[in-house]
Amino acid sequence: MEQHLPVLLIITPLIAAPLCVLVRQRVAVFGLALAVCWAVFAMAIMLLARVLDSGEITYQLGGWAAPWGIEYRIDTLSAFVLLFVSGIGAVVLSFAPHSIAREIRKDQHYLFFTEYLLCLTGLLGITITGDLFNLFVFLEISSLSAYALISLGARGGVPKTRRALIAAFHYLVMGTIGATFILIGIGLLYMMTGTLNMADMAVRLRETVEINGSFKQVNETRTVLVAFAFLSVGISLKMALFPLHMWLPNAYTYAPSVVTAFLAATATKVSVYILLRLIFTIVGAGFAFERLPLDTELMVLSMIGIVVASVTAIFQTNIKRMLAYSSVAQIGYIALGISFASPDGLTGAIVHLFNHALIKGGLFLAMGCLVLRLGSTELDDMRGIGRRMPWTMFAWVVGGLGLIGVPTTAGFISKWYLISAALERGWWPVAVLVLLSSLLAVAYVWRVVEAAYFQDAPEQHAEVTEAPVVMLIPTYALIGATIVFGLWTSVSAGVARQAAELLLEVTP
C-alpha cells in the first residue's frame, strides 16, 4: 500500500470520475467527490513527508523499468506542487455545494463533479509523471475538462451569460494550439534522443554524437533548439505569460465561481511547473539561460506583463475580471523569479506559486460568497457590502493585502525573495519595479475596499445578508493560510528553497 501511493494519488480521482456519471444522484456524487479529494490531499501530505524524509521517490508503472516504462518521479518540487494543488482541490470542493446550487443548473451537477475530478487528475498527473508524453496526455485531460467546466457558466451562471461559451471556445483554441506546440516539441526531442523519460533525456541531450562528419553535443543541434522553442512557447501559452494571456480574463470572468477559484489557483501554476521541469531538469539552465537568452526574454516579458496587467486591472468594473488581470500580473512575478536563475529568485518563484494559489483561491472563493448573495460581480453592486457581509469582505480584504504583499501576509514572503534576488544581482531597477507594481495592486484593491466600506448600498441590496457559514469556513481556510504561511515560513519557503536548490544542483 505504502509503496503504491504515487499511483493511487492519480488512480483514485480518475476512477471516481466515471463513477460520478454512473451514480448521478447529487448528494451521493458530492459525497464521493469530497471523500476522494480529501483522500488525495492526505496522500499528497504523506508523499511530501516521505520525500522530505528520504529524498526522491520513483515509481514504475506496471513494473516496467524506466526509460522503457512510464515512471512517476517525485522530488521536493513535485511533492510541493502536488500538496497545494490537491489541498486547494479539496478546500474548493468543500465550498462548492451552495455555490453551484446557485450558479450551475441542478441536472448538471454530477457533470460538474466529474469534470472537476478529471481536471484534478490531469493536474496531479502532470506534476507526478517523469515521462514527457504522459505529461502531454495529462495536460490534455486537465485542459479538456477545464474547457467543459468553464462552459458550465453559460446555462446557469450568475449573472447568466452566454459569453461563457465563447470564452470556453477561445480557451479551447488557444489551449489546443499550446498543447500541440508542446507535442511538436516533445516529438522533436524524441527524434534526437530516442527517449521520453525526462531524466534519461537530460543525460542523452548532453551526449556527443557525429552529425554530417562533425562531432557535437545533441543539445547543440538545431532540432533541439527548435524543440525548445516550440515547448517554451506552448508552455507560456498554457501558463498565460504576457502577451499570451488573452484567453485568461474571459475564461476566469464567465466561469462559475468555484471553477474560477480552482483553475486560477492551480491550472496556471502547474504549467509553470512544466516550464521549471523543462528548463532545469531536461535541457538545463546552462542551455536555456546561457546559450539561449530565455532569462532576458522571461524578465522583459514578465516586467511588461506585471505593469500592463496591473494597470488594466485598475480599470476593470467587473471584480472577477480585475482579479483575472491580477493573476496575469502574478504569473509575471513567478516568471521574473525564474529568470534570475539564482537560489533566491527560484525560491521566490516556487514559493509564490504556493502563496498566489492560496491568495487567489481565497479571493475567488470570497467572490463566490458575494455572487451567491448579490448575483453580480460588478463593482457597483458591491457598494456598502462591507457592512452587510462583514466576514466575506474581511476575507476579501485580507486576500487583497496578500496580493499587495503587506508584511505578515504570504504575498510579502514571495516579494521579499524576489527583491533580494534582484538586489543580489545588482538589478535595482527590477527591485524598484516590483515595489512600484505593488502600488498598482494597492490601487485596484483599494477601489473595492472603498466601494465596500465607504459607499452606501444601492436599494436593491438592502436585504443582503452574510454568506452561510459552510461557505465561509473554506474561504477562511485559504485566507487564514495566507496569514499562517506569511508568519510561519519554514514550511512554505523552507520547502521551496530546498526544491530550488535541488533544481539548480542537477544542472551542470
Contact 486, 412 (CB under 8 A): yes
C-alpha cell, 301: 516579458
Nearer to another protein (CB atom), residue 164 or residue 442: 164
Reading the block at residue 398, the C-alpha cell is 485580507
Q: Check the CA dihedral 441-443-444-447 and report its sign.
A: positive
The least CB distance from residue 302 to another protein, in Å, is 25
- Shortest approach of another protein to residue 332 CB, angstroms? 25
Measured distance CA(205)–CA(179) in Å, rounded? 23
Q: Which residues bind another protein (CB under 8 A)?
A: 133, 136-137, 140, 144, 147-148, 151, 154, 162-163, 165-166, 168-169, 172-173, 176-177, 180, 183-184, 187, 190-191
Residue partners of 114: CB distance under 8 A and separation at least 6: 17, 18, 20, 21
Nearer to another protein, 178 or 305 (CB): 178
- The dihedral formed by the CA atoms of 283, 284, 288 and 291, expressed in degrees to the nearest 10: -100
As measured in angstroms, the least distance from the Cβ of 166 to another protein is: 6
Q: To the nearest whole angstrom, how small is the minimum distance from the Cβ of residue 281 to another protein?
A: 21
Least distance in Å: CB of 115 to another protein? Answer: 11
| Least distance CB 125 / another protein (angstroms) | 14
- By beta-carbon proximity to another protein, the closer residue of 137 and 484 is 137
378: left (phi over 0), alpha (psi -120 to 50) or beta: beta
Query: Which of 133/453 has CB closer to another protein?
Result: 133
- Do the Cβ atoms of 137 and 148 come closer than 8 Å? no
Grid cell locating 221: 543541434
In which element (H, E) is residue 24 found?
A: none
Give the per-residue SS3 of 256-297. Answer: CHHHHHHHHHHHHHHHHHHHHHHHHHHHCHHHHHHHCCHHHH
481 alpha carbon, distance to own chain's centre: 17
Nearer to another protein, 189 or 338 (CB): 189
Cell of 54: 528520504
Instruction: Report the nearest approach of another protein to the CB of residue 341 (Å).
Output: 31
Are 16 and 33 in contact, with CB atoms under 8 Å apart? yes
Burial of residue 184, with CB atoms counted within 10 A of its CB: 0-12 exposed, 13-18 middle, 19 or more buried: middle
Q: Smallest gap, in angstroms, from Cβ of residue 250 to another protein?
A: 10
Question: Which C-beta is closer to another protein: that of 172 or that of 306?
Answer: 172
Beta strand 214-217 with 57-60 is unpaired
Chain centroid offset of residue 66 CA: 28
Residue 80 or 147 with smaller CB distance to another protein: 147
Nine-digit cell string for 62: 506496471
Q: Which CB atom, from 176 or from 420, has the smaller least distance to another protein?
A: 176
**Interior CA angle at 235 toward 219 and 403, to 5°?**
130
Assigned C-alpha cell, 13: 480521482
176 versus 342: smaller Cβ distance to another protein = 176
Provide, rounded to whole angstroms, the least separation between the CB of residue 110 and another protein. Answer: 17
**How far, in Å, CA of 239 to CA of 242, rounded?**
9
Nearer to another protein by C-beta: 90 or 182? 182
Residue 348: CB minimum distance to another protein, A:
35
